[in-house]
Amino acid sequence: MHSSDSAGLDLPLPLRNFAATRRMLLVVLAASILFPVVFLLGYGYYDYQRRMTESNDIADRVARVADEQAVKVLDLNREISTRIVEMLADSDDAQITANQKAIHDRLSVIGESFDQVAGITIFGVKGEMLASNRFFPVPTVSIANRDDFTSARAIRPDPYFSLPLLSSIQQDDVFTTSVGRSLNDGRFAGVVSIALKRDYFAGFYRDLSNGEPGMSVGLFRRDGGILVREPPSRPGITHARDAAFTGAMRNNELFGRIRIRSSIDGVERVVAFRRAGDYPLYVTSAIPTAAIFAEWRQHYSLIAVITAAPCVAVWLLVLFSLRQLRAQQAAWERWRAEVAMRLSAEASSRQLRRMGALGNLVANVAHDFNNLLMVVSANMELARRKNFNGLEREVLAVERATAGAEALARRLLSVARKQPLKQEPIDLAVWLPAATGLIETAAGEKVQVKVQVSPDMWQVRADATELEFAIINIAVNARDAMPRGGRFVIRSQNVRVTADNVLPDGEYALLAFTDSGEGMTELTARRAFEPLFTTKLSGSGTGLGLAQVLAASEQAGGTARLDSVPGRGTTVRLYLPRYHAPSAATATAPDDAPVTLDSPDSRDNAASAPLHPGSILLVEDNEEVAAGVAAVLATFGCDVRHELTADKAFDLLSEGSRFDLVLSDIQMPGRLNGIDLAEKVRGTWPTQRIALMTGYADEFERARHTGVTILAKPFNIDELRELVLR
């Protein structure tokens, strides 16, 4: 049995050469030392980079949460200040002093409602305390020389945030937000000051860090002033002096991430920062690089120990094999390794062949399907022209099914990149609002559709039908992601793309489709554009929707991208290149432009233009398709001759036969295909009219260079009529 296996694999058994075996085992011993070392070095580098990335993500998430909390508190603080300013209206110092009791009571109600508020105080024009929620009557206190009073007066009505300070009376650790008041005539009327508890923020930051070693969370002013920091900074340090950090704040950056050695405690950290809304404040989240390194080192040491154990075992085994010189065992290991390698290579080769054949399989199935649909469609037209004879309802049902089958075949060809394109300039500012009704129908009654289109949108050049299918597919996916209803928002804007790994630099029209649905996991989002991939129940989806969206975008010269957050919705973005219309002198229609497709519903209303019957040579290898097309041509009064191959058609023309029109398919058996026939006819008989039919996009593009009219399968009777009338 061993000999037959070896013969099948063409692997001779090794000779009993002890010297060669010894040398091989020494090489194995060296490799068993070198490879683990290389592996550990590579894994160590990868693991360190991964942990740095994870730490950056943690810092970003913590900063985002801290930002949301700060914005909520500051927005609430702004609302309180606004209410107090409105309550005081145009009152001057004397009026406030006279109503001190009533104002104190109202401030007490407001202040006691919020845990973060340490006190609310109203100061007069000269900085003296007029009213407070903490005291009645108020003590004699003046803040005329404090920076929060002078700054609030200078920048009113914008708020001013003070550095931390101790309340002169209650000894509370707070920082204040001060808003300057103005009388109706614009004169300064005093300051409304709200003291916020630093412990309120510090406690939240402690919970937010969740015991992460060395993590710090803080709230800073734009000038680097430290309002709150957890853990607290050393006494006497009131400002951050890091140039990179303070420079980012001075530049009013919305968010970012930097790696600095902190001027507060001298520790190197990865710092994520975000601006708190529209306030001159920033929240930060920082993780020490030393903590990241310590965690990595601990994990790396464990991996090194785990890796060393099997390595030691291998070394002992090799040494034992060297001592015993068991050649047969060494030969067996070599044979088994060869078998595994060959099986792996064969499996890889089969997989590549399967993936390469998938596109051709889908396209060929759709092409043959289109031929069958043309037979059905042509005979339905003939039945319509013969007034149905009592079968109108049945014929109309077959026509509706045929239309649905044509749409499915179009989607298959689109996914395989073989759908013939009919690209044309599209004015998105007009086209997209016009498609709103269709989008709302696809999205369903439970979904609220909102379309926001910029009036100065650039034009694009694309297949309008493919683009419409793409948007409908996105709307249907959004509907399925929101079974209980939700919002589906379509936004458009002009963008300029530079330094992108996929898109060439240039100008693009961006269409963004956002739903408020269930969202996708990261793994699902990565595979969303794969053909035949679907997460829907069996029978509920084909897996072609988003694949068609990507295909339509790429065939227009752009791309599609998807972002999704589980539980928060999905956004699909289409990037379509800007179309620059040709000048008026060159904007004439080409002679070889394909026949425009009419909607199926227009056939009953189309004007019956007078026909001039003539002779037509029909070249089609599918006899059923040829019979249907010939029957339709006969209803026009045409004399039709059918040939199965381009070779026979060319021989017929060479014998002297002439026709008013030669109508040929492209893909046919024999020496010549349709494109070859068109080139020979145009070169030999320039006055002979010829038109081609195809269902493949690649054939469609090649056929355009022949300069003849091209019909994209499946076509209807109106297209055929238009071709005959030319």
Q: Which helix (H) or strand (E) holds 200?
A: helix 198-209
Cα 629 versus chain centre, distance: 44
CB 158 within 8 A of CB 148: no
Using CA atoms, how far residue 398 sits from 380, 389, 665, in Å, is 8, 15, 25
Alpha-carbon gap, residue 253 to 219, rounded angstroms: 15
Q: pLDDT confidence of 586, banded at 50, 70, 90?
A: very low
Residue pLDDT, tens place only, 132-157: 888 888 888 888 888 889 999 999 88
Percentage of the chain modeled with pLDDT above 90: 19
Alpha-carbon gap, residue 6 to 324, rounded angstroms: 25
CB 86 within 8 A of CB 159: no
Give the pLDDT confidence score for residue 308 in this predicted structure.
Answer: 81
Q: Give the single-character DSSP code of 239.
A: B
Alpha-carbon gap, residue 121 to 107, rounded angstroms: 8
- Please check the confidence at residue 407 and state whether its pLDDT lies above 70: no
CA atoms within 13 A on the CB side of 487: 10
Give the pLDDT confidence score for residue 551 in this predicted structure.
Answer: 80
Output phi, psi for 444, to 5 deg. Answer: 95, 165
Give the relative orientation of helices 18-88 and 100-111 as an angle to the nearest 10 degrees. 160
- β-strands 506-515, 559-565 pairing: unpaired
Residue 270: burial class (beta carbons within 10 Å; 0-12, 13-18, 19+): buried
- β-strands 117-123, 129-132 pairing: antiparallel
Q: pLDDT confidence of 67, banded at 50, 70, 90?
A: very high
Give the pLDDT confidence score for residue 171 in this predicted structure.
Answer: 59
Alpha-carbon gap, residue 109 to 113, rounded angstroms: 7
User: Average pLDDT for residues 540-551, to the nearest whole number?
Assistant: 71
Alpha-carbon gap, residue 384 to 388, rounded angstroms: 5
Give the closest residue to 191 by CA, choosing from 95, 235, 127.
Answer: 127
Residue pLDDT, tens place only, 671-715: 888 888 888 898 899 888 898 887 665 566 666 667 788 887 767
For residue 70, how many other CB atoms are within 10 A of its CB?
23
Strand-pairing partners, residue 194, are: 120, 177
- Please check the confidence at residue 606 and state whether its pLDDT lies above 50: no
Q: Which helix (H) or strand (E) holds 406?
A: helix 392-415
Which of 409-418, 502-511, 604-613 is the least confident region?
604-613
- Please check the confidence at residue 178 and state whether its pLDDT lies above 80: yes
Alpha-carbon gap, residue 194 to 197, rounded angstroms: 10
The answer as to CATH 3.40.50.1110 being correct for domain 43-314 is no
Alpha-carbon gap, residue 153 to 678, rounded angstroms: 85
Residue pLDDT, tens place only, 299-323: 888 888 888 888 888 877 878 777 7
Strand-pairing partners, residue 272, are: 257, 285
CB 275 within 8 A of CB 282: yes
Query: Is the pLDDT higher at 175 or at 593?
Result: 175
Give the closest residue to 222 by CA, choosing from 196, 255, 194, 248.
Answer: 248
Which of 184-193, 197-206, 512-521, 524-533 is the least confident region?
524-533
Which of 190-194, 312-316, 601-605, 675-679 is the least confident region?
601-605
Query: Which stretch, 26-30, 222-226, 320-324, 535-539, has highest mean pLDDT?
Result: 222-226
Residue pLDDT, tens place only, 491-502: 999 999 887 777
Architecture (CATH level 2) of domain 607-725: 3-Layer(aba) Sandwich (3.40)
Query: Which stretch, 27-31, 246-250, 529-533, has highest mean pLDDT?
Result: 246-250
Apex CA 668: angle with CA 665 and CA 672, to 5°? Answer: 100
User: Average pLDDT for residues 223-248, to the nearest whole number?
Assistant: 87
Domain boundaries, the chain: 43-314, 348-415, 423-581, 607-725
Give the pLDDT confidence score for residue 468 in this predicted structure.
Answer: 84
Q: pLDDT confidence of 656, banded at 50, 70, 90?
A: confident
- Please check the confidence at residue 460 and state whether its pLDDT lies above 60: yes
Provide, for the chain, the percentages of residues in helix, strand and coil under a 3-state DSSP scheme, each rounded to the nearest 5. Answer: 50, 20, 30
Give the closest residue to 429 by CA, choosing from 494, 515, 495.
Answer: 494
Q: pLDDT confidence of 272, banded at 50, 70, 90?
A: very high
Alpha-carbon gap, residue 669 to 647, rounded angstroms: 9
- Please check the confidence at residue 658 and state whether its pLDDT lies above 70: yes
Contacts of 448 (CB under 8 A, 6+ apart): 485, 486, 487, 488
Query: Is the pLDDT higher at 58 or at 609?
Result: 58
- Please check the confidence at residue 594 and state whether its pLDDT lies above 80: no
Give the relative orientation of helices 327-385 and 2-9 as an angle to the nearest 10 degrees. 60
Give the pLDDT confidence score for residue 23 in this predicted structure.
Answer: 77
Output phi, psi for 157, to 5 deg. Answer: -95, 15
Alpha-carbon gap, residue 641 to 629, rounded angstroms: 11
Percentage of the chain modeled with pLDDT above 70: 76
Which of 378-387, 536-545, 684-693 is the least confident region?
536-545
- Please check the confidence at residue 351 and state whether its pLDDT lies above 70: no
- Please check the confidence at residue 666 and state whether its pLDDT lies above 90: no
Which of 376-385, 400-409, 494-503 is the least confident region?
400-409
CA atoms within 13 A on the CB side of 228: 27
Q: pLDDT confidence of 6, banded at 50, 70, 90?
A: very low
- Please check the confidence at residue 601 and state whether its pLDDT lies above 70: no
- β-strands 226-230, 486-497 pairing: unpaired
Which of 13-27, 57-71, 399-413, 642-656 is the least confident region?
399-413
Q: pLDDT confidence of 64, banded at 50, 70, 90?
A: very high
- Please check the confidence at residue 201 and state whether its pLDDT lies above 80: yes
| Beta strand segments in 554-601, E | 559-565, 569-577
Q: What is the amino acid identity at position 243?
A: A
Residue pLDDT, tens place only, 240-268: 888 888 888 889 899 999 988 888 888 88
Coil, helix or strand at residue 295:
helix
- β-strands 117-123, 188-197 pairing: antiparallel
- Please check the confidence at residue 65 and state whether its pLDDT lies above 90: yes
Give the closest residue to 370 by CA, choosing from 409, 327, 322.
Answer: 409
The two three-digit tokens of residue 334, written as one number = 């070599």
Question: Which fold would CATH assign to domain 423-581?
Answer: Heat Shock Protein 90 (3.30.565)
Cα 426 versus chain centre, distance: 23
Strand-pairing partners, residue 118, are: none
